[in-house]
């Protein structure tokens, strides 16, 4: 059998106060942890949203770039079909959405006139440069 011991009420009050203070401290710590978790959750959600926005922007840029490439390929195929590029000595080709820029080597003024007439028969010329002399080679620029 157990013996009943006398425990003073002061000791019980002190002990209860310690337990209550520990319980209060634990609840405060739990609230702080909860608030911090909510804060970090918000930060992570913002990161996820920004990542998704960045991903959407990249997809739209990829679509735009692929459309530009498709347009450039179609224009180049049209150019080769209409102009038979093997007859020209081409230095540079730049194909944009709205224009095609060519730099074509020539031998003389007669060749220049013949090439311009050939291009004019198939395309409308937006810009035509005079003959450019570079060392021993001559060329001109055409924007279609």
Mean pLDDT, consecutive 10-residue segments, the chain of 144 residues? Answer: 63 78 93 90 81 79 76 79 74 81 84 83 83 82 85
In DSSP notation, 12-67 reads HHHHHHHHHHHHHHHHHHHHHHHHHHHHHHHHHHHHHHHHHHHHHHHHHHHHHHHH
Q: pTM of the prediction? A: 0.50
> Are 16 and 79 within one domain?
yes
Is residue 3 one of the residues assigned to a domain? no
Please count the structural domains in the chain: 2
pLDDT given for residue 95 in this prediction: 80
- Whether residues 18 and 77 share a domain: the answer is yes
DSSP SS3 for 72:
helix
For residue 57, tell me if it sits in a domain. yes
Range of the domain at 107: 84-143
Per-residue tokens: 34:
């909860």
User: What are 72's two structure tokens?
Assistant: 């450039």
CB neighbour list of residue 143: distance below 8 Å, 6 or more residues apart: 99, 100, 101, 102, 125, 126, 127, 128
At residue 69, the pLDDT reads 77
Are 13 and 78 part of one and the same domain? yes
Of 63, 83, 103, the domain-final residue:
83
Q: What is the pLDDT of residue 11?
A: 65
């Amino acid at each position: 059998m157990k013996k009943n011991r006398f425990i003073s009420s002061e000791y019980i009050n002190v002990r209860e106060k310690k337990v209550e203070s520990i319980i209060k401290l634990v609840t405060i710590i739990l609230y702080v942890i909860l608030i911090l978790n909510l804060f970090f959750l918000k930060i992570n959600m913002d990161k996820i949203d920004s990542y998704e926005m960045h991903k959407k922007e990249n997809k739209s840029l990829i679509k735009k770039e692929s459309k530009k490439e498709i347009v450039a390929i179609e224009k180049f195929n049209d150019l080769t079909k209409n102009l038979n590029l093997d007859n020209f000595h081409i230095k540079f080709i730049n194909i944009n959405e709205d224009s095609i820029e060519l730099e074509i080597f020539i031998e003389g003024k007669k060749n220049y006139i013949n090439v311009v007439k050939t291009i004019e028969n198939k395309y409308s010329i937006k810009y035509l440069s005079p003959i450019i002399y570079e060392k021993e080679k001559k060329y001109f620029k055409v924007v279609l």
